[in-house]
Amino acid sequence: MNLEALSIIDKVSPIVIFKADKEGKCIYISQKWTEISGYSFEESIGDGWISAVHPEDKTRTLSGWKPKTASQVSITEYRIITKHGDIKWLVTRVAAEISENDQVIGYIGSATDITERKLAEHSLQASEEMNRKLVENSPNAIVIQELDTTIVFVNKRAIELLGARSEKEILGKSTKNFIHPDDQPGIAARFKQIVSTNQRGEPYTFRINGFRNNRFLGESIAVPFHWKEKKVVLLVIRDVTEERENLEKVADSEKRLKQFIQYAPVAVAMFDKNMNYVGCSHKWLKDWWKKEEEVSIDDVIGKNHYDLFSDVSNYWKKVHQRVLKGAYEVNEEDFFVDEKGKTHWLRWEARPWRRKDDDIGGVIIFTEFITERKKAENDLKVVADQLLESNQELQQFAYITSHNLRAPIVNLDTLLGFYDPKIGYNEDNAQVFDKIIKSVDQLKSSLNDLIQLVDIRETKSLRTREINFMDSLNQVLRAVETQINTGDTELTYNFDKAPSVTFEASVLESILQNLITNALKYRRAAPLHINLYTYNSEEYVVLKISDNGIGMDLDVVGTKLFGMYQRFNDTKEGKGLGLYIVKSQIESMGGKIEVESTPNEGSTFIIYFKKN
């Protein structure tokens, strides 16, 4: 073939045509070469083209491009580096040109650009390699099963999870062999659905029984696809045993914690940063939920505290704000007044709770109503005060009685020493004797006082009945008749508003007698006027006894007025026992006595008889 013919073929051919002499020097190369390589005809003829060959492929290409025998066609694949620096793949086919006498006179060849094919080949290889590696190294078990459930492929992880010695133990078996019997119906239904819809299934969890007691909980995704010209289902299975156990543990511990809080016999609640309920105890709702409709813990969780309890005070809101900023607050004795005006005592504690990152997550509040305890404490205090008072009174009683009994006795003792029985009657002895009689009288009187005082202390056990004030007054007036008649005395009374009282008759008479006698005793020179008046108050029947006597300066007399053996006047006879007795009698019956007085004007005693 001559060169002209070649150049014509060259124009129509998509391949490079070239010709070399018997030494292998290129004597022709078609235009197509320049298009592919960027090298010109002149640059390429002779050995020029060799410089375009990729250095790594040079030796192989140079030694192998020529056919070894005349009849052979040599095929060589190699890379070139174009004048622009790109790498291109060429495949060269070369045959020897034979003369009539069978001598090799040169070579004719073609070269085709196979770069695109090569790239496609490589990328496929790469992706296959990748897939293979992915499957091999996947942390998930990968199983391919045919539509009749026969397993046709398993990866390393699948062999591991199933506890098989090799894939041979698994391949050819049905997947059913490895599914827990109870889970098989569910799996079968899903398998059917996946195959019929040709859609990938949602993750599904079931129990897998492998070889040699390898059991685990698998979460699988099933994907239908075509593999080796067959419709199959690819299963990707993840071992979720531990994960599930952990989740269950967390759920369980959460549940336990929730129960612990719910049934804790204290009022405790946990809020988030916006004061929404995270949890609370039954006691919390019992203590604080006052609305008609029932509410459960589940009802309040997630709800806002201020929405649920519209009456939360600013006091509490401020506590919440401070705690949300990190404060820990506690109050052992706090109180509030409810809308009905009732005071409630409580002790409380509020502290922030923190998230894993130590940020404040919200507030935990504990409250305990201590109203009852507080009340009991107060009651106890009242009792203690009463006991203290009564103890002081008893001490006073013991002191005074011992004094009043001892005084006449020691006097008697001394006086008897003065009395001289040998002398008989003389003036000295008569004087001493007179004092002895007086001392004995004092002793008798003190003993009588004592008996009377002990009596009052037992008044509580007396039997009460309804008594008319008029009747009692008449009794008393008979006793003091002479005293009233001898002086210029007027006694008036008005019992219309409260004619009677439920009381002990003898005690009422004793009270009236004491007070009227006092009025008579502590009169001024002027005509005496005594008035008695009764009325009802809510709790008491009230008796007022007024006089226009000498009166008292209450600032001086003060609380001593009703004390034992207190005397405030040394010109009048008296032991200072009357008002003490009156007060004791009234108080022992649950009542009280008050006094109003102005010196030189008179006194008013107000007696409150407790109603039943």
Partner 1 sequence: MSDQDTLDLKVMIIDDDEISNFIYRKVIDHSGMSKNIDEFQQAKAALDNLDQNLSNDFKLPDLIFLDINMPVIDGWAFLKEYNEAILPRLTKKIVICMLSSSVYKEDIEKAKSYSNVNEYISKPLTSERLIQIIEKHFSGSQ
Asked if residue 403 binds partner 1 (CB under 8 A), the reply is yes
Instruction: Identify residues 549-568 at the interface with partner 1 (CB under 8 A).
Output: 566-568
CB of 607 to partner 1, least distance (A): 25
DSSP secondary structure string for all residues of 533-579? EEEE-SSEEEEEEEE-S----HHHHGGGGGSTT----SSS---S-HH
Asked if residue 598 binds partner 1 (CB under 8 A), the reply is no
Asked if residue 410 binds partner 1 (CB under 8 A), the reply is yes
For 420, the 3-state DSSP assignment is coil
Strand 528-536 with 489-494, pairing: parallel
CB of 428 to partner 1, least distance (A): 9
Cβ proximity to partner 1, 415 vs 581, nearer residue: 415
Instruction: Identify residues 439-468 at the interface with partner 1 (CB under 8 A).
Output: 439, 442
CB of 484 to partner 1, least distance (A): 26
Cβ proximity to partner 1, 404 vs 584, nearer residue: 404
Stretch that binds partner 1, among 343-351, 382-390, 408-416, 579-587 (CB under 8 A): 408-416
Q: Residue 541: beta bridge partners?
A: 536, 609
Closest CA to 191 of 145, 237, 240: 145
Report yes or no: 535 and 606 within 8 Å, Cβ to Cβ.
no
Alpha helices for 264-370 (secondary structure H)? 282-288, 297-300, 305-308, 314-324
DSSP secondary structure string for all residues of 215-280? EEEEEEEEEEEEETTEEEEEEEEEE-HHHHHHHHHHHHHHHHHHHHHHH-SSEEEEEETTSBEEEE
Stretch that binds partner 1, among 3-11, 241-249, 364-372, 398-406 (CB under 8 A): 398-406
Cα–Cα distance, 262 to 254 (Å, whole number)? 12
Select from 22, 303, 381, 406 the one that contacts partner 1 (CB under 8 A).
406
Cβ proximity to partner 1, 110 vs 404, nearer residue: 404
CB of 549 to partner 1, least distance (A): 17
Asked if residue 415 binds partner 1 (CB under 8 A), the reply is yes
CB of 457 to partner 1, least distance (A): 22
91: its two tokens: 């495949």
Cβ proximity to partner 1, 1 vs 430, nearer residue: 430
Instruction: Identify residues 468-527 at the interface with partner 1 (CB under 8 A).
Output: none
CB of 570 to partner 1, least distance (A): 5
* CB neighbour class for 210 (10 Å; exposed up to 12, middle 13-18, buried from 19): buried
Select from 81, 104, 114, 407 the one that contacts partner 1 (CB under 8 A).
407
Q: DSSP secondary-structure letter at 403?
A: H
Q: What angle do CA 7, 11, 12 make, to 5 degrees?
A: 125
CB of 448 to partner 1, least distance (A): 18
For 312, the 3-state DSSP assignment is coil
Asked if residue 231 binds partner 1 (CB under 8 A), the reply is no
Placement of tokens 């002479």 in the chain: 482
Asked if residue 317 binds partner 1 (CB under 8 A), the reply is no
Asked if residue 570 binds partner 1 (CB under 8 A), the reply is yes
Cβ proximity to partner 1, 140 vs 442, nearer residue: 442
Cα–Cα distance, 281 to 287 (Å, whole number)? 10
Cβ proximity to partner 1, 174 vs 431, nearer residue: 431
* CB neighbour class for 17 (10 Å; exposed up to 12, middle 13-18, buried from 19): buried
Select from 227, 328, 336, 418 the one that contacts partner 1 (CB under 8 A).
418
Q: DSSP secondary-structure letter at 1?
A: -
CB of 557 to partner 1, least distance (A): 10
Cβ proximity to partner 1, 262 vs 411, nearer residue: 411
Cβ proximity to partner 1, 337 vs 423, nearer residue: 423
CB of 405 to partner 1, least distance (A): 9
Q: Residue 460: in which H helix or E strand, if any? A: none
CB of 576 to partner 1, least distance (A): 7
Asked if residue 569 binds partner 1 (CB under 8 A), the reply is yes
Asked if residue 411 binds partner 1 (CB under 8 A), the reply is yes
Instruction: Identify residues 146-165 at the interface with partner 1 (CB under 8 A).
Output: none
Asked if residue 414 binds partner 1 (CB under 8 A), the reply is yes
The contact mask relative to partner 1 for 267-306 (x = CB under 8 A, - = no) is ----------------------------------------
Report yes or no: 162 and 170 within 8 Å, Cβ to Cβ.
yes
Cβ proximity to partner 1, 230 vs 567, nearer residue: 567
Closest CA to 551 of 528, 530, 580, 524: 524
Angle between helices 578-588 and 505-521 (to 10 degrees): 150
Q: DSSP secondary-structure letter at 183?
A: G
Residues that bind partner 1 (CB under 8 A): 399, 402-404, 406-408, 410-411, 413-415, 418, 431, 435, 438-439, 442, 566-570, 576
